[in-house]
């Protein structure tokens, strides 16, 4: 009889793990802090890569459903100078290998693929401790469970991680401030035109304006490198004042780029970026492990969701391959996860340097060159467990 798996966190990693376990007939329960699938906006577009995220979706048997979620044309990418000059306009010719889907729709696809009752909503893990027959997880509602096999898939601020590692994420010095423009083609035509049909990035020294064309909105991310206290000061401001304060950081930039912020229809959503050390390993402890951001959160690098998906499917396939030896499965999982996440973390460190580098008026040009190199780079697809 396979050991039942207790998963903390119904994000992309935890749900992929549950789905692939289900396909292999291994029982799993997912405990999620949020009260329901709709409790929180799930954020914007994710590009899911053919060399990692899509391999997990294949293992989950959900490729057809995934294809149905792809927003056509969104792999188009533009890079602009702050004055609005287009420096790079990479078309979406359908061969990019990084199709874009909405995070909320991807998560719902995974939820729909699980038997009813797999996810227990409104169960926020508040503490964990080792007990005689496994690990006990306490929840904020006063309940608790004992897990013979516990997986922390609960993101950057994991409550499971302290069982394995005392390391906590540190602020990267970067935050995104997000807003949405609805009916932008009609209400904000110049801003909509400059974004184009997919993604747009306008980098300046230490800051950027980025935007994506989603299903029915333009989604803007203003990236600023500032101390945390600067962002704290935005709390409590009314939304228009907060958006105006952020737009003021881009004084002198093309008006249609600034419009992406100042014209926002929604209150700004602040996302500070935190990271764990690029090498974050721990001693093997029987019956518990981590996946996704809980194990290896990094700053913005376009890989976090892809790695979380792959960690989930890989761990499930290893557990299925070692039905009588859970700890061998966990040891192999960690070895494989450490190797791939360390490689990405090293790339992220390089990317962070590029993001914050000040090349003066050539900053956008340097970023456009880096983007061309990234597109040209051949990546080996992740190898599945057989
Ligand atoms: C603005 C932004 C843009 C991004 N863009 C991209 C991108 O384009 N491509 C990409 O690959 N990655 C991207 N990422 C990174 C990506 O979102 C994460 O790496 C990914 O979501 C990690 O998945 P996860 O399942 O490990 O954790 P999460 O998605 O964080 O899921 C964790 C789950 O655990 C739950 N939880 C948390 N604490 C508890 C608790 N105590 N008890 C129970 N449940 C709990 C949470 O509610 C959540 O549902 C982006 C991140 C941000 C912030």
* CA 146–ligand 1 middle distance (angstroms): 25
Judged against a pLDDT cut of 80, whether residue 43 lies above it is answered with no
Helix H, strand E, coil C: the string for 255-285 is HHHHHHHHCCCCCCEEEEEEECCCCCCCCCC
Which secondary structure element, helix H or strand E, spans residue 181, and what is its range? Answer: strand 170-182
Angle 326-356/363-376 helices, nearest 10 degrees?
150
Count of beta carbons in the 10 Å neighbourhood of residue 127: 12
Alpha-carbon distance of 211 to 221, in angstroms, equals 6
* CA 350–ligand 1 middle distance (angstroms): 22
CA-nearest residue for atom 30, ligand 1, is 155
pTM value surpassing 0.85:
yes
Whole-number CA gyration radius for the chain: 21
Per-residue pLDDT reduced to its tens digit, 271-328: 999 999 999 999 999 999 999 999 999 988 899 999 999 999 999 999 999 999 999 9
Give me the pLDDT at residue 339, please: 97
Is the Cβ atom of 155 under 6 angstroms away from ligand 1? yes
Residue 2's pLDDT band (cuts 50, 70, 90): confident
> What percent of the chain is predicted at pLDDT more than 90?
82
Mean pLDDT of 246-257: 97
Mutational pocket test of ligand 1: of 9, 97, 214, the residue with most ligand atoms within 8 Å of the beta carbon: 9
Alpha-carbon distance of 109 to 37, in angstroms, equals 11
Give me the pLDDT at residue 220, please: 97
Look up residue 341 and give its two tokens.
């996440």
Domains of the chain (ranges; CATH) run: 5-73+96-169+276-354 (3.50.50.60), 170-274 (3.30.9.30)
Residue 73's pLDDT band (cuts 50, 70, 90): confident
Q: Tokens 């935190």, residue?
A: 274
Q: How far is CA 89 from the centre of its chain?
A: 25
Is the Cβ atom of 124 under 6 angstroms away from ligand 1? yes
Per-residue pLDDT reduced to its tens digit, 21-42: 999 999 999 999 999 988 777 7
Give me the pLDDT at residue 38, please: 80
- Beta pairing, strands 5-8 & 28-31: parallel
Q: Which of 251, 259, 247 is nearest to 218 (CA)?
A: 259
Lowest mean pLDDT among 91-100, 235-244, 350-359: 350-359
Average pLDDT, the chain: 94
Kindly give the number of the ligand 1 atom that is closest to the alpha carbon of 49.
11
Give me the pLDDT at residue 195, please: 96
Look up residue 301 and give its two tokens.
């690098």
Look up residue 75 and give its two tokens.
């792999």
Quote the Cα angle for 200-360-198, to 5°.
5
Per-residue pLDDT reduced to its tens digit, 175-218: 999 999 999 999 999 999 999 999 999 999 989 999 999 988 99
Give me the pLDDT at residue 211, please: 97
The torsion defined by the Cα of 344, 349, 354 and 355, in degrees rounded to 10, comes to 90
DSSP string, 152-179: E---TT-SSGGGT-----EEEEEEEEEE
Kindly give the number of the ligand 1 atom that is closest to the alpha carbon of 46.
8
Is the Cβ atom of 299 under 6 angstroms away from ligand 1? no
Judged against a pLDDT cut of 90, whether residue 7 lies above it is answered with yes
Quote the Cα angle for 172-178-183, to 5°.
160
Look up residue 373 and give its two tokens.
């190199």
Is the Cβ atom of 271 under 6 angstroms away from ligand 1? yes
Give me the pLDDT at residue 370, please: 85
Give me the pLDDT at residue 214, please: 94
Is the Cβ atom of 32 under 6 angstroms away from ligand 1? yes
């Amino acid at each position: 009889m396979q050991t039942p798996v207790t998963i903390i966190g119904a994000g992309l990693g935890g749900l992929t793990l549950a789905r692939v376990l289900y396909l292999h007939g291994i029982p799993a329960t997912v405990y999620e802090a949020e009260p329901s699938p709709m409790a929180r906006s799930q954020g914007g577009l994710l590009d899911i890569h053919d060399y990692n995220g899509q391999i997990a979706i294949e293992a989950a048997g959900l490729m057809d459903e995934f294809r149905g979620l792809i927003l056509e044309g969104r792999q188009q990418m533009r890079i602009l100078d702050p004055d609005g000059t287009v420096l790079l306009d990479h078309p979406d010719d359908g061969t990019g290998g990084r199709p874009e889907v909405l995070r909320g729709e991807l998560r719902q696809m995974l939820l729909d693929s699980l038997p009813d009752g797999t996810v227990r909503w409104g169960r926020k893990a508040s503490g964990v401790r080792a007990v005689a027959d496994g690990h006990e997880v306490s929840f904020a509602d006063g309940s608790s469970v004992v897990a013979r096999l516990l997986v922390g898939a609960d993101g950057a601020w994991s409550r499971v991680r302290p069982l394995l590692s005392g390391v906590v994420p540190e602020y990267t010095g970067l935050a995104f401030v997000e807003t949405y423009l609805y009916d932008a083609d009609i209400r904000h035509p110049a801003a909509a035109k400059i974004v184009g049909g997919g993604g747009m990035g306008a980098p300046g020294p230490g800051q950027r304006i980025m935007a994506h064309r989603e299903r029915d909105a333009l989604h803007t991310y203003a990236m600023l490198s500032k101390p945390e206290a600067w962002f704290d000061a935005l709390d409590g401001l009314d939304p228009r004042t907060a958006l105006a304060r952020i737009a003021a950081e881009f004084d002198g930039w093309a008006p249609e780029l600034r419009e992406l912020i100042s014209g926002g229809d929604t209150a700004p959503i602040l996302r500070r970026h935190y990271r764990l050390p690029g090498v974050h390993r721990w001693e093997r402890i029987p019956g518990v492990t981590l996946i996704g951001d809980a194990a290896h959160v990094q700053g913005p690098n376009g890989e976090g969701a892809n790695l979380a998906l792959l960690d989930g499917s890989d761990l499930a396939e290893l557990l299925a391959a070692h039905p009588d030896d859970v700890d061998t499965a966990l040891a192999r999982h960690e070895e494989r996860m450490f190797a791939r996440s360390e490689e990405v973390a090293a790339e992220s460190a390089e990317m962070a340097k590029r993001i914050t580098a000040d090349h003066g008026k050539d900053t956008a040009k340097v970023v456009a060159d880096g983007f061309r190199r990234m597109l040209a780079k051949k990546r080996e697809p992740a190898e599945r467990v057989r």
